[in-house]
Amino acid sequence: MAATPPRPALDLVDLSELRRVLHGAAFPARPAQLAAHAQARRAGDAVVRALAALPDHPIVGPNQVCAALGHHHGPVQTGP
């Protein structure tokens, strides 16, 4: 059986912080772009690292980010 690749540190990524730092992000975006956007919005290091560690392909929206990070709690609102 093949080993599962490691996922970003899910326990360290707070969903409310993720919502805050994704606010205003332009989608589709690659993980490096999302990490830079989050850093500009003063995200914690764990969030920036988790975003940067996502598979390098265009991400279409915040719900896809949350799903990739293991958050499956319904739609994510990034607006006010």
Q: Report yes or no on 78 lying in a domain.
A: no
Per-residue pLDDT tens digits for 1-55? 555 445 444 445 778 888 899 999 999 999 999 999 999 999 999 899 999 999 9
How far is the C-alpha of 12 from the C-alpha of 26, rounded, in Å? Answer: 24
Q: Report yes or no on 77 lying in a domain.
A: no
Q: Using alpha carbons only, how large is the chain's radius of gyration in Å?
A: 12
* Total domains, the chain: 1
Whole-angstrom CA distances from 20 to 5, 37, 40, 56, 76 are 28, 11, 12, 22, 10
Model-level pTM?
0.75
Task: Compute the half-sphere exposure of residue 67: CA atoms within 13 Å on the CB side of its CA.
Answer: 8
Q: Report yes or no on 48 lying in a domain.
A: yes
Containing domain of residue 56, as a range? 11-68
